[in-house]
Structure 1
Amino acid sequence: MAAVAGASGYAGGEALRLLLAHPELEIGALAAHSSRGPLGDHQPHLAPLADRELVGLDPEILADSDVVILGLPHGASGRLTAEILEINPDVRMVDLGADHRLLDSADWAAYYGEGWSEPWAYAMPELIRTDGNQRDILAGASLIAAPGCNASAVTFAAQPAVSAGIATGDDIVAVLAVGYSGAGKALKPHLLASEAVGNLNPYAVGGTHRHIPEIMQNLRLAGGTLGGLSFTPVLAPVVRGIIATVSIPVVPGTTAADVTDAYRSAYDGEPFVRWSPTPPNTAVTIGANTALVHAVLDREGERLTAVCTLDNLVKGTAGAAIQALNLSLGLPEEMGLTSIGVAP
């Protein structure tokens, strides 16, 4: 039985959409911070759950489940998960928020402020690390932290070069176009259709975006030194999708074949992160738990450009969570997930 906290939001709703297609997971309690009434009033596309009533974020109710998936703002899930674990230490939890992602409390303090929570197993099975295998860490893990969507796109774009030794990870420059669903469901003036349509809106510029320490953490695990990371996201007038264009300095003597070999081999055999022979677009990943990655050596031979596209709500959030949950439960990794997009 899987309960979902934050069921009225975008991330929680996406988790429910995927759970409805999962043959081994039954949906339990549906909880939200302030939203009440039938779920259909808030998530009309989830017709099979339309009559289910939303309850409050009561740790007693949520703890009476085998699995709890939390789609809450940062800072909220850390407190709630501690209360749930106190009631039921055996519950399995997956946090879609940021609270349990960062290994270093100083990183949390620098980008989020107070309230660092203990890190959980990171829900990126494809994470390349020099000290082990991420799937082994997820197997049997009862506490799982889903990755950030932007962090996933940049990590997938950069880690093959770092892991293969053709880049140190220094001086990486990443520019992303991001769909508005990544900003959440809260009503804010800059998220209104009248502000978004026909507009490209940069945000969290100048090294302030909260996914920066997560990206750097990931690339250090892959063997990078990470002397610097420039990261600039831009809200684009689309609902879903991320395209990350990442420029990475390469070590002298790196060839075009070295770049292709590094990226092809990094994702060879992966069910959901795949090499694309041409620069991918976002449309082919929408609705799928798929990330597509392409990389090419720049003409001068001093940098490479890697492009990654994914659906921010699926492979960027809820899909990654379900994929990791499958591993933790000993189920086939692909269960309940699709790699087929809905383009056009």
Structure 2
Amino acid sequence: MTRTAVVICPGRGTYNKPELGYLHRHHAGRMDMFRAFDALRGEAGQEAVTVLDGADRFSVARYSRGDVASPLIYSATLADAQAIADEIEVIAVTGNSMGWYSALAVGGALSPENGFCVVNTMGTLMQEHLIGGQLVYPVTAEDWRPDPARRAEVLRKVDEVDAREGTTLGLSIDLGGMLVLAGDAAGLDAFEAEMPVVLDRFPMRLANHAAFHTALQAPVAEAGRARLGPDLFTQPDRPLIDGRGAIWWPHASNIEALWDYTLGHQVTQPYDFTRAIQTAAREFAPDMFIVTGPGATLGGAVAQSLIATGWSGMSDKAEFQARQTGSPLLVSMGREDQRGLVTG
């Protein structure tokens, strides 16, 4: 029986110590594709993806770098998408932040090699510039029920800090029950100092993350557009849902506009992952949502986004967990206990 699915591609921060060796463990039969990526890395004087994935030891300092994390995540994501069982019909693709680049390849708007070129170039540019930083702060309670008042309070604080002389702070990613904030050091420090600590770990600064999806990234966007032309892009094979919740339809997309969004708005403006997931649910009504690897940290944000819209009658974490029994609504390929549900 054919099942329909929306595929969701993860962004930065998903290739960590448990994921070391992910390509070799799960995708030994796709080494030819990875070696093609290695060749592109070699042309740029960079270490091969297969070597990075096959290393004996993991270190945050090395593997959180944009020029290391981005190509590893892309390679794992694309290979996972290719491994989805034939009886599952992928009816749309979306992603979180850097995952938009992966989604373009999964959806056919970029070839595997061109997608790798985009990801590796942008990850390298982000690392070379490393403008600003990011932190994460929750805006729902532990039961995942939406809390509009709490969200509004946090955003008011962001605006207040940003309005001060010599500080920059703004929304980077609307991530389900979390807000990812980005800014310069002064803005991030002020928010951390003045907001209450939640769950003993938030606000949480993200290592080696720049101020993604803010105007601070304008130099990176400009450099990316200079290196990556519209000729890399083509018509998608599957509908693509971007970081505004807009849909790019197969055989009906303006390629110049897709390039312009990807290396313009997507780099310098907030990324609304919550809206992307809600659009996917409302417009495509899939049987399931599949989050590709690496990692399994994005599942919570997907569930929280669905809860916020009342999808499938869910209003909190307990109802989502109950919905997951039997035939799961959400499958994370980075989880060993769920991967086999969609790989056949």
TM-score by length of 1: 0.29
> Would you tell me which structure has more strand in proportion to its own residues?
1
